[in-house]
Structure 1
Amino acid sequence: MAQISKYLLFTFEILNEMYAALGTGAVGLMCLIKFGFQKSALLKTAAVCAATAASFIYIAPESKKIKPNKKKVVCITGCDSGLGFSLAQHSVDLGFTVIAGFLSLDSKGCKELRKSYGNNIIQIQLDITDSVSVNAALKTLQHFLGRNEGYTLHAIVNNAGVMVFGEFEWLTENLIQQQVNVNLLGTLKFTNAMCPLLRQYGGRIITITSHCSQVTLPSLAVYGATKAALAAFSDGLRVEMAKYGVNVITFIPGSFCLQSNIMARQLQNVQEMHDNFTQEQHSFYSDYFKRFNIYLSFITPPPMPVKIQDEKMYKIYEETLLDETPKVVYKNEDIRYLIYHTLFKISPWFVRDYLVVKFMSMPSYTPSKSLKTSLLEYAEDADL
């Protein structure tokens, strides 16, 4: 028991120091490391082992790469703006033939790509929630591959998605269904239709998930649930498709809300939530709902679709397409995301929840009246 207590105390001290370092930032982390080297032989040994392992990783040969060319076709969904708009351009620049799906062929993103890339990006109308649209896209792909000898379907990139920011109680049935239908059911529908072609050509399935698939954040409960479901779906599908020579990959591209249109409809969504509040909800959430959405209003999408500026993200995306033996998950994250998400995984739930709140940095709920008072006023107004 004494030995167990010793190990538990040691673990507690390590976690305590990590949280202290996180709270004080880079300076605190540097002081912690300096103190550790002065006082702990164990830390010195661990540092030497880590440096040795890093050296081996650095000098180890990279996995073999596939050479892109125009006979390898990449089909990407959701190219009207944001990530899909950016990945379509990058894939063409790498040398692939790109078939880009647009919710509307009259969208700003579609027109911009047509202007910049002409016929180098083949544009199709694609609504992944609509079976007729998905089947039309499948026939277009089959026709294109059939009449171009030597062309193969190298990959589909499941990118189309929508995100609604708001506490779960605020979301209308329409806003919940919209996220489930596009992010999850639409992706499943499109992937299912493409499976025969992927088997025929030995292609790969790249599904865009999110850090929310690993830790679902408050105000993004439904969005996170759909992304977590996609990650689970990919886990099962990967094993199924491996025996047919089809690789299944998930790609976490990082955060770039200010460069994306994923929140383009947030103002309309807020109005829909507000209009569907009950009288009690208006009374209860009034000030908090207002402050919450004023805060979000500063995250404004660009007026025109722009290519995301993140060289690291593109580098990792290239690996999903070009690694001959791809990894299961590819992730793009900065140091802040890495530290927080590591602590989310190893912390007790009450510490984890506190860190999630700090990570989100959203306006806090400060009740102006007690719940009892609010309910009494609601009862009086309703003549109960």
Structure 2
Amino acid sequence: MGSFSKTCFVAFEVVNELYTALGAGFLGMLVLLKHGFDSHQSVKTVSVVALTTASLVFITQQIEKLQASKKKIVVITGCDSGLGFSLAQHTVDMGFTVIAGFLSLESKGSKEIRGTYGGRIIQIQLDITDTVSVRAAVETLEHFFNSEPRIFCISTIWYSHNEYFEIVLALYAIINNAGVMVFGEFEWLTERLIQEQIDVNLLGTFKFTNALCPLLRQSRAALPGLAVYGATKAALSAWSDALRVELEKYGVNVITFIPGSFTTQSNIMGKQLQHVQEMHDSFTVDQHNFYSDYFKRYNVYLSFFQRREVPCKIKDVKLYEIFECTLLDKYPNVVYKHETFRYAFYHTLFKFSPWCLRDYFITKFMCMPQYTPSPSEDKYMDDDEDIDL
């Protein structure tokens, strides 16, 4: 028998034993171990049993689901539009009690949800960058959990014929969704635009989560949780990793949900025109001359991501399927991702490519207008070269 045939035979034996072990379960694995030691094939047998055990654990974890309940409160920030607007509706449809935070209770998103869901989605004004607003939101939550006796008119939370029930509410999850994105090269951003992204995406999330940590510990709940924009998100990822380790001993899970790109269905770039104007007005004369054509082409391209006057629920079945896993998986993953094949393909290339290729792939992935020097800039560069020579 040749070496190739031997390899195929061993592979067949391993697969066959894996299949047998999975089918026979725990007792079958004990028999397999005894047979392996008796036949002096302990290394192979132990490897097969270990792989089988890991597979069974993985399968079990993927199957077990928790149940949604109106007694479980899910708090979602940034529900005025986009992802938060969509998740608030989907979460209450799943069967949870939802407290949705809106920057303004008079926003179009707030009115739309109020008109469709009435009191089934509890609305609160919440600016996560404002300490007073955060404190008021926490007090509202504490009112739900600490009121004695715990009797509420269910019709103010979800439709139930105005009947009164005694219920025990628990903070089940915080979904830190509120975010601000300003599209523009780093040099173009004003100090205010940089600070706004840091204040909302990073510091605001810190502030709100920190204020709710005591309630999270009490409830043993699951916490799902461009240069400056990317930096704030990267910082949140690192923060989540550390927070997960800190809170695990209290029975609190910290989860990162990466929902992919849905810019055309979101309103995250709703203020892009104002941001562009602010960047343009802050340019020096030299910057106006240097970036003139490129700045125009760059922002004309971005203008295709039109602002939606009325927020719409995101239409993506797979997005909601993965989101449900973050709330209902009994043994949740650390990270849940939803991305198209194109995103997955490029992100894999980013991760494993050397830097020179990685930069090229990022440029291809973004598909942004290319920078080309103007004739005056070419002349300026030629003059510099002459001086150097």
TM over 0.5: yes
The one-letter code sitting in structure 2 at the alignment partner of 1:178 is E
1:249 to partner: Cα distance: 0.5
**2-structure distance, mates of 1:157, 1:293:** 32
The DSSP-based 3-state class of the residue aligned with 1:238 is helix
d(CA) in 1 for partners of 2:183, 2:328: 34
Taking the aligned partners of 2:118 and 2:146, their CA distance within structure 1 comes to 22
- Go from structure 1 to structure 2 and tell me whether the alpha carbon gap of 1:375 and 1:185 turns closer, same or farther (over 3 Å shift): farther
SS in 1 for 2:79: coil
2:172 to 154, 165, 168: 154
Number of the residue aligned with 2:41: none
**C-alpha distance in 1, partners of 2:179/2:241?**
19
Q: 1:172 aligns with which of 190, 211, 214?
A: 190
The count of residues paired between Structure 1 and Structure 2 equals: 317
Superposed displacement of residue 375, structure 1: 9.3
Q: How many Å apart are 1:203 and its aligned residue?
A: 1.1
Cα distance in 1, alignment partners of residues 376 and 213 from structure 2: 55
1:376 positional shift? 12
**Given the alignment of the two structures, is residue 196 of structure 1 paired with residue 214 of structure 2, yes or no?**
yes
The residue aligned with 2:276 is 270
Task: Note the C-alpha offset of 1:368.
Answer: 0.9
Structure 2: distance between partners of 1:317 and 1:376: 55
What residue in structure 1 maps to residue 240 of structure 2? 234
What is the aligned partner in structure 2 of residue 183 from structure 1? 201
CA contact (8 A) 1:164 1:266 kept: yes
Which position in structure 1 is the counterpart of 2:103?
Answer: 103
Which of 321, 327, 334 is equivalent to 2:327? 321
DSSP 3-state at the match of 1:194:
helix
Structure-2 residue corresponding to 1:145: 145
1:285 lines up with 2:296 in the alignment: no
- Alpha-carbon distance between aligned partners in 2 of 1:81 and 1:290, rounded to the nearest angstrom: 28
Give the share of equivalent positions with the same residue, in percent: 65
Report the Cα offset of residue 288 of structure 1. 0.2
Pair 1:258 & 2:258 matched? no
Trace 1:23-42 onto structure 2 (pairs within 5 A). none
Q: CA deviation at 1:60?
A: 3.2
SS of the residue corresponding to residue 276 of structure 2 reads: helix
Q: What TM-score results when the alignment is normalised by the length of structure 2? A: 0.78
Q: Name stretches of at least 5 consecutive residues in structure 1 with no aligned partner.
A: 1-40, 208-219, 378-384
The 5 Å alignment of 1:20-169 reads 60-61=59-60, 62-147=62-147, 148=150, 149-169=167-187
- Is the contact between residue 253 and residue 331 of structure 1 (CA under 8 Å) also seen in structure 2? yes
Task: Say which SS state the counterpart of residue 69 (structure 1) adopts.
Answer: coil
**Residue in 1 aligned with 2:387?**
none
**Alpha carbons 1:84, 1:159 under 8 Å: kept:** yes
8 Å contact kept, 1:63–1:325: no
CA distance in structure 1 between the partners assigned to 2:279 and 2:375 by the alignment: 22
Cα separation, partners in 2 of 1:241 and 1:276, compared to 1, 3 Å: same
Counterparts of 1:375 and 1:350 in 2: how far apart (Å)? 24
TM-superposed deviation, 1:63: 3.7
SS of the aligned residue for 1:60 comes to helix
Give the match for residue 248 of structure 1: 254
The whole-number CA distance in structure 2 between the counterparts of 1:196 and 1:60 is 33
CA distance in 2, matches of 1:205, 1:301: 30
Q: Secondary structure at the match of 2:375?
A: coil
CA distance in 2, matches of 1:365, 1:334: 28
Amino acid at match of 1:301: R
Q: Is the CA contact 1:71–1:96 (under 8 Å) kept in the aligned structure 2? A: yes
Q: Is the 8 A contact 1:259 1:301 kept in 2?
A: no
Q: CA offset at residue 178 of structure 1?
A: 0.5
RMSD in angstroms over aligned alpha carbons?
2.3
Question: What's the CA shift for 1:146?
Answer: 2.1
Aligned to 2:42: none
Distance between the aligned counterparts of 1:282 and 1:77, measured in 2? Answer: 38
Q: Distance in 1 between matches of 2:377 and 2:128?
A: 43
2:125 maps to a residue whose letter is Q
Rounded Cα–Cα distance in structure 2 between residues aligned with 1:375 and 1:358: 26
Q: 1:376 to 1:135 in 2, by over 3 A?
A: farther
1:218-267, CA deviations, whole angstroms, 9 ceiling, x for partnerless residues?
Answer: xx111000000000000000000000010000000010000000000000
2:28 maps to what in 1?
none
- In the alignment, is the contact (CA less than 8 A) between 1:280 and 1:375 conserved in 2? no
- Superposed displacement of residue 299, structure 1: 0.8
Contact 1:73 1:153 in 2 (8 A): yes
Please report how far the alpha carbon of residue 206 of structure 1 lies from its aligned counterpart in structure 2 after TM superposition. Answer: 1.3
Counterpart code for 2:232: T
Aligned mates of 2:379, 2:286 — CA distance in 1:
11
